[in-house]
Chain A
Amino acid sequence: MHFADGDWTTAQLILPVLVGLWLAGLSYGDLRTRNIPAWATTLPLALMGLLRTAVVPPDGAIVPGGVAVGFALLMILLSDRPSAVYPAGVAAFCAGLSGPQAQVLVGSWIAALVLVDLNIWGASDGKVFAVLTALYPDVRLVVTLIATLLIGGAVTLLSQRHHTGERRTFPAIPWLAVGTGLYLASSCQLSVLSFQ
């Protein structure tokens, strides 16, 4: 599930295509209506959470990597209640014991949830971000996604600079799709270079 290290297989080539199609569909809906059906983001998030907990845990071990993701899932399930901080704390602790993949995954899920709760971005944006970091728990993906969102915010502010006194929003999922494309392209490039 981690493509930056080379060793490409058919599954590793098909998965980016599926992710691309999923992001393209979501981007189309986001650009049209600024709303995405909940199932289109919640089902992939639940699937990736369960896979990362029990089947393909981050850093290659269910204890503590898979356990960290399991508690991060519990945090999301309890996210309407203050008690969500307890599974979040356990998830962060287990991720700290695990390795960089679990740390990136759990850290980005906590950040996505906090950004949604603060109404900085929509719940669909947060779930797409969480699914992408579960698929590719790599700090380079997180940096690329944040950079593309910064560009998206700057473009929106510059293009709407004459509008005053209103909340200026932009569809974030197309920018997340661009960031994912850049990351996958650079990972492929790194992978090719590593064979030389």
Chain B
Amino acid sequence: MHFLRGTQAEADAGIVLIAGLVLLCLVVLVACAATGTSLGGL
């Protein structure tokens, strides 16, 4: 219930940069795989 009861609303700037880049790459890769598009074709 930590997730549902949690009230904190701040993010760690340094780790968000790293995690955000990793997530962004993952999302783009999965989206390209789902649509059958090559990364170079974007």
Residues of A within 8 A of B (CB): 26, 29-30, 34-38, 42, 45, 76-77, 79-80, 100, 103, 107, 111, 113, 115-127, 139, 142-143, 146-147, 149-150, 152-154, 156-157, 160, 167-173
CB distance from A183 to the nearest CB of B (A): 14
Chain B residues within an 8 Å CB radius of A118: 15
Q: Which B residues lie at the A interface, using CB under 8 A? A: 1-17, 19-21, 23-24, 27-28, 30-31, 34
- The SS class assigned to the A binding surface is helix
- The answer to whether A143 and B34 have CB atoms under 8 Å apart is no
A76 partner residues in chain B, CB cutoff 8 A: 3-4
B13 touching A153 by the CB < 8 A rule? yes
Closest 10 CB pairs of A and B: A123-B6, A122-B8, A121-B11, A124-B9, A156-B13, A153-B16, A172-B11, A169-B10, A153-B13, A153-B17
